[in-house]
């Protein structure tokens, strides 16, 4: 049962998200020098190649973890414990089938990798390659349970606690990695250590959940095929977002590289990275508001959902405006310092990229309304379609106007999504555009004292 103010839970989620970002930065900054010191560049490069192979298995839950988390949180908001348990156990049944398939698939992938000369593995024998891919694949398979375990924390109003535990597990994995490297272990030993740590961590996080949610024990007693079928469409639609992101990011990079050359590609990629500096903060807002929107819609409190939507967009726009001001004034200097003067700002392209970021702040945060209630299917397809059309549009634009043309095509994606997403969110929250815009200029006062009783 969720207690306390909505603002308090969102605040804790923001704090947990910030902690997660700090963990990410720490691991990314510290891992590279550790691997290079103990293994050297060639062996570390081979580890990166092998670890990338099973990483694609992370998508094998087919989005059911996210869809189930939404359904469970909405059911909890409505006070329907039976539906929470049914959804939970049905998702475990599906994950069980996926685990069985992975028991066959992962060894096959490991065997193929160990016999593939095109991977460019020279320092590891074939047997070592096999075991590394097998063990890392097992780690990915074990992490699939994290989605449904996280759903327990989310549905019980303890989303921030679940986030903290997950990031503590990441810290533990980094610590054992550093220890194994310093101890001189080979790649198989390191992969086995990571697998053991992840399994133990998942079991511990689940054990903590059982203390406040005894119903979350693994059981198939109330699993229903009908519940899995009901979740299938929203779950599979979640898979469309990585596809759209791949088109939007990697697709545009490939296009710029092939149409304009490697040097313009470096300029484009660097400017785009700088222009999206506020995106991580906006993602924190989305992640923190998401469970509360599901809960509000579950208890049919459209007023709370409407206010959450308004304030989330307001916060994102405030971040975007502040970032735009800094980047518009100091972007050239930042680029010069960051790249040691090796990359020169393309002013026209940079302006398009900044404009794209501003519009993204509007629709990306607003999109969490549809996502939180599993009504994102059309939006996901539209995102993929707009990304594909913009990529096609970028071909003649890049040929005619260089980097500015390619950047203008990215702006087209954001405009199209804003025109689609915002009206959909306003319909779901029973809001009007004029009132919504007016609310964005007011200081938020609504969420401060609201206490949820369900």
**Cα 417 from Cα 205, distance rounded (Å):** 37
Both structure tokens of 378: 């059309």
Asked if 298 and 74 touch (Cβ cutoff 8 Å), the reply is yes
Question: Region 88-106: what's the mean pLDDT?
Answer: 90
Name the residue with higher pLDDT: 24 or 449: 24
Give residue 329's pLDDT.
87
Give residue 444's pLDDT.
61
pLDDT in tens, 346-367: 899 999 999 998 898 889 999 9
Strand partners, 138: none
**Cα 313 from Cα 277, distance rounded (Å):** 17
Strand partners, 451: 5
Both structure tokens of 176: 């054992």
pLDDT at 280 over 80: no
Band the pLDDT of 397: cuts 50, 70, 90: very high
**Cα 153 from Cα 41, distance rounded (Å):** 40
Distance (Å) of CA 392 to CA 182, 240, 399: 49, 19, 12
**Cα 200 from Cα 194, distance rounded (Å):** 10
Give residue 252's pLDDT.
86
Tell me which DSSP letter residue 248 carries.
I
Nearest to 273 by CA among 360, 340, 350, 359: 350
pLDDT at 452 over 50: no
Mapped onto helix, strand or coil, the DSSP state of residue 59 is helix
Mapped onto helix, strand or coil, the DSSP state of residue 451 is strand
**Cα 363 from Cα 316, distance rounded (Å):** 10
Contacts of 209 (CB under 8 A, 6+ apart): 149, 152, 153, 156, 162, 216
Model pTM score: 0.83
pLDDT in tens, 127-177: 899 999 999 999 988 888 888 999 999 999 899 999 999 999 999 999 999
Both structure tokens of 372: 């939180």
Tokens 């399994």 map to which residue?
199
Give residue 451's pLDDT.
38
Question: What dihedral angle (degrees, nearest 10) is formed by the CA atoms of 329, 331, 332, 338?
Answer: 140
Question: Region 31-45: what's the mean pLDDT?
Answer: 86
| DSSP state string for 161-181 | HHHHHHHHHHHHHHHHHHHHH
Helix, strand counts (H, E) of the chain? 19, 0
Contacts of 257 (CB under 8 A, 6+ apart): 265
Asked if 320 and 364 touch (Cβ cutoff 8 Å), the reply is no
Nearest to 272 by CA among 258, 287, 255: 255
Name the residue with higher pLDDT: 337 or 395: 395
CB atoms within 10 A of CB 104: 9
pLDDT over 70, % of the chain: 96
> What's phi and psi for 299, nearest 5 deg?
-95, 10
Asked if 303 and 447 touch (Cβ cutoff 8 Å), the reply is no
Contacts of 206 (CB under 8 A, 6+ apart): 145, 149, 216
Give residue 445's pLDDT.
53
Mean pLDDT score of the chain, rounded to an integer? 87
pLDDT in tens, 296-352: 999 899 999 999 999 999 988 888 888 888 888 888 888 888 777 877 888 999 999
pLDDT at 34 over 80: yes
Give residue 4's pLDDT.
60
Band the pLDDT of 259: cuts 50, 70, 90: confident
pLDDT at 256 over 90: no
Which parts of 184-278 fold into alpha helices (H)? Answer: 187-212, 225-238, 240-246, 252-260, 262-275
**Cα 376 from Cα 407, distance rounded (Å):** 27
Strand partners, 5: 451
Both structure tokens of 213: 């949610």
Angle, helices 145-155 vs 64-77, to 10°: value is: 20
């Amino acid at each position: 049962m969720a207690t306390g103010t909505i603002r308090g839970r969102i605040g804790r989620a923001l704090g947990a998200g910030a902690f997660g970002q700090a963990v990410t930065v720490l691991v990314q900054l510290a891992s590279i020098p550790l691997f290079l010191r103990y293994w050297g560049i060639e062996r570390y490069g081979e580890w990166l190649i092998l670890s990338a192979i099973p990483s694609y298995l992370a998508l094998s839950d087919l989005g059911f973890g996210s869809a189930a988390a939404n359904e469970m949180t909405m059911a909890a908001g409505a006070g329907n414990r039976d539906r929470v348990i049914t959804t939970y156990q049905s998702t475990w049944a599906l994950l069980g089938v996926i685990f069985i398939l992975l028991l066959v698939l992962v060894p096959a992938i490991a065997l193929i990798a160990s016999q593939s000369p095109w991977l460019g593995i020279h320092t590891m024998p074939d047997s070592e390659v096999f075991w590394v891919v097998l063990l890392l694949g097992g780690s990915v398979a074990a992490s699939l349970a994290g989605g449904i375990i996280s759903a327990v924390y989310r549905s019980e109003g303890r989303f921030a606690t679940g986030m903290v535990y997950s990031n503590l597990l990441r810290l533990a994995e980094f610590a054992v990695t550093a220890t194994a490297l310093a101890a001189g272990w080979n790649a198989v030993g390191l992969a086995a250590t990571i697998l053991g740590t992840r399994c133990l961590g998942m079991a511990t996080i689940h054990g903590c959940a059982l203390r406040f949610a005894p119903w979350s024990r693994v059981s198939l007693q109330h699993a229903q095929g009908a519940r899995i079928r009901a979740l299938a469409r929203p779950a599979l639609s979640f898979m469309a977002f990585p596809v759209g992101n791949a088109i939007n990011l990697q697709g545009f990079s490939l296009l710029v590289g092939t149409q304009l050359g490697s040097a313009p590609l470096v300029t484009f990629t660097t400017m785009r990275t700088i222009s999206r500096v506020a995106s991580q903060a906006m993602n924190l807002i989305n992640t923190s508001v998401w469970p509360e929107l599901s809960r509000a819609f579950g208890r049919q409190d459209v007023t709370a959902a409407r206010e959450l939507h308004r304030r989330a967009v307001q916060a994102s726009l405030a971040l975007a405006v502040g970032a735009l001001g800094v980047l518009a004034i100091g972007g050239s200097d930042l680029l010069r310092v960051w790249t040691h003067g090796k990359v020169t700002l393309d002013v026209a392209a940079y302006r398009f990229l900044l404009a794209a970021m501003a519009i993204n702040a509007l629709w990306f945060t607003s999109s969490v309304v549809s996502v939180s209630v599993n009504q994102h299917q059309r939006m996901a397809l539209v995102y993929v379609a707009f990304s594909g059309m913009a990529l096609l549009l970028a071909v003649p634009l890049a040929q005619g106007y260089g980097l500015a043309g390619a950047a203008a095509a990215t702006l087209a994606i954001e405009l199209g999504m804003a025109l689609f997403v915002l009206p959909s969110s306003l319909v779901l929250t029973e809001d009007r555009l004029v009132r919504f815009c007016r609310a964005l200029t007011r200081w938020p006062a609504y969420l401060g004292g609201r206490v949820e009783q369900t």
